[in-house]
Amino acid sequence: MSLAIFDLDNTLISDDSDYLWGQFLVDQGIVDKEQYEGANAKFYQDYKKGELDISAFLHFSLAPLALHKAEKMHHWREQFITEAIKPILLKPAIRLVNKHRFKGDTVMVITATNRFITEPIVKLFGIDNLLATKPEFIDGQYSGNFLGTPCYQEGKVTLLEEWLESSSETLEDSWFYTDSHNDLSLLQRVDNPVAVDPDDKLREHAHKNGWPIISLRNNVVTLGEV
C-alpha cells in the first residue's frame, strides 16, 4: 500500500477552481466586476508563469469570504459546485483515483487552491485527505485571512511533511500526479512522479527525467502505463 497524491486543478478537474470561483463571484455580482475580474486574471497568469505572490493572492481571493455571513457564502459555494465544477470532473481521473483506492493505497489531494473552495470538490471524488491553505474562521465568520503555511510550491512539501509526522504513512513507493511546474519540489520527493496533461515547463522536465506523461482528458498514456 502506498500514498497516492493528486493535484486538483487541471489534474482531477479540467480547469482551475480558484480562477473559476473568482469568475463566479463576478458573474453573481458578489464582487465588483471591473476591480476583481482583471486582478483575478492577472494572478492566474502569474501562477501559470510560476511568478505568483501567494500571500498577495490569498489576501485577494479570501477577502470576499469576509463580506458576507458564512451561511451565505456556503450557499453560493454549493451553487458554484453544481454549476461550475460538476461539469468539469474528469471520468478518467475518477477511475485513476479508484484504481489506487482499490489497491488499498491512501489517496490524498494537495492543492494551492484554498480549502473553502476545494473541500467539497475533493469530497466528490470520495477523498478524505486534503492539504490546502486554510482560511481563518473566527466566531462563525471568515476573516479574509489565512492560517499557517500557504499550500503552494515548497509550502506543499512543508505541509505534507507535517502531515506525515502525524500519520503512519511514508513516501515509500509514493505517487504524485500534477499538471503544473509549480509542483516540481513535490514531484522530486515522491518515488513515482507523474505529469498529467502538463504545462510546457513540466512536460520538458518530465521528458528530461523520464517521468510518465499521461492525459486524463483523452486516455492517452506515454512513457509507460501508470
Tens digit of pLDDT at every position of the chain (226 positions): 899 999 999 999 999 999 999 999 999 999 999 889 899 999 999 999 999 999 999 999 999 999 999 999 999 999 999 999 999 999 999 999 999 999 999 999 999 999 999 999 999 999 999 999 999 999 999 999 999 999 999 999 999 999 999 999 999 999 999 999 999 999 999 999 999 999 999 999 999 999 999 999 964 434 333 3
User: Which among 7, 16, 179, 183 is annotated as catalytic?
Assistant: 7
| Whether 9 is catalytic | yes
Predicted model pTM = 0.93
Catalytic residue among 9, 105, 179, 197: 9
Q: What is the DSSP code string of the chain?
A: --EEEE--TTTTBSS-HHHHHHHHHHHTTSS-HHHHHHHHHHHHHHHHHT---HHHHHHHHHGGGGSS-HHHHHHHHHHHIIIIIGGGB-HHHHHHHHHHHHTT-EEEEE-SS-HHHHHHHHHHTT--EEE-PEEEEETTEEEEEEESS-SSTHHHHHHHHHHHHTSS---TT-EEEES-GGGHHHHTTSSEEEEES--HHHHHHHHHHT--EE-SSS--EESS--
| Fold for the domain defined by 3-222 | Rossmann fold (3.40.50)
